[in-house]
Amino acid sequence: MSGHSKWANIKYRKAAVDARKGLVFSKLSRAILIAARRGGRDPEVNFDLKTALTKAREFGLPKENIQRAIARGVGEVDGVLMEELVYEGYGPGGSGFIVEAVSENRNRTTSDVRHLFSKFKGALGTAGSVSWKFKKKGLLVVPSNRAGKSVSEDEVLDLAAQIGADDMKAVRDGFEIVTPLEEFSRSRMEIEKKGYPIQLAELTLIAAVQVPIGGETARQVFDLVLELQDLEDVQNVTTDADLPDELFSQAA
């Protein structure tokens, strides 16, 4: 797979569609609630909340929904108890998966996730069976066009070096810059300060080594990711599968 941003862009396109169905609002509200519960209501000191609020505003989550989710998260309003769940498993072709969910019904969510893994000839694993392959990083994508002028790979490589990025690679429509988790916010501000637009910015799990998968098995992995993302309780799906570019270009 040429870059992590292909999965992220698929997720964002699906979110834009889901927004019309209201599904994405539920997912965004849950992310805000959990972030507020972990670190409090102030986004200036709670980085997870700041990230969740940025994404919520990108997709037009109403202000009252945001305030209600924060209030529930910090315990100011009673409500259904939400629980963070992390599933590890193996999909088609030996691909590793991590599925992050937020649910008020662990049994239902576990059943839904297990069903999809079984449907695609995969299986859930035990804690630690897959997570050792991944590390949480910051992902920033700079488009290959800046104010009407093309941006060169050498230019972005120099930019990545200046901000102390872990990695940089060219992708189809731009450049991925991978940063240490704790440097994500600062790196984003530095890039914007230097006048570069940012096409995508998120915290994500990144596999140290990707597993090349092709043919019909690649399609099965791709479909498993999409069906897992369609579950209301699921917040994030990460895989180490390295899939052909054409799967992503064909996706709506």
* Residues 31 and 53 sit within 8 Å (Cβ to Cβ): no
Block residue for tokens 């810059």:
177
Question: Closest by alpha carbon to 176, among 132, 152, 142, 150?
Answer: 142
pLDDT at 13: 65
**Higher pLDDT, residue 21 or 207:** 207
pLDDT at 20: 57
In the chain, CATH 3.30.70.980 sits at 83-132+211-242, 133-207
Provide, rounded to the nearest whole percent, the portion of the chain with pLDDT above 70: 91
Contacts of 147 (CB under 8 A, 6+ apart): 195
pLDDT at 16: 61
* Residues 93 and 217 sit within 8 Å (Cβ to Cβ): yes
pLDDT, tens digit, for every residue of 219-242?
999 999 999 988 989 998 999 998
Q: What is the CATH number of domain 83-132+211-242?
A: 3.30.70.980
Q: Give the CATH superfamily of 133-207.
A: YebC, transcriptional regulation domain (3.30.70.980)
pLDDT, tens digit, for every residue of 42-100?
998 888 898 899 889 988 899 999 999 999 999 887 777 889 999 999 999 999 999 99
26: its two tokens:
């539920």
Give burial (CB, 10 Å; 0-12/13-18/19+) of 170.
Answer: middle
Give burial (CB, 10 Å; 0-12/13-18/19+) of 81.
Answer: exposed
In the chain, CATH 1.10.10.200 sits at 5-73
Structural class in CATH, domain 5-73: mainly alpha
Question: Closest by alpha carbon to 2, among 144, 172, 135, 225?
Answer: 172
Averaged pLDDT, 143-168: 91
End-to-end CA distance of the chain: give it in Å, rounded. 18
Mean pLDDT (the chain) is: 88
Block residue for tokens 């080594």:
209
Question: Closest by alpha carbon to 228, among 33, 3, 7?
Answer: 7
For the chain, the maximum distance between any two Cα atoms, rounded to a whole number of angstroms, is 53
pLDDT, tens digit, for every residue of 115-145?
999 999 999 999 999 999 999 999 999 988 8
Integer CA distances (angstroms), 10 to 45, 132, 215, 248, in order:
30, 25, 20, 7
pTM higher than 0.85: no
pLDDT, tens digit, for every residue of 7-44?
776 766 666 666 556 778 888 999 999 999 999 999 98
Amino acid symbol at 90: Y
Where helices occur in the chain by DSSP H, the ranges are 5-19, 23-39, 47-58, 63-73, 106-119, 153-163, 184-193, 215-229, 245-250
In 10 A of CB 74, how many CB atoms? 13
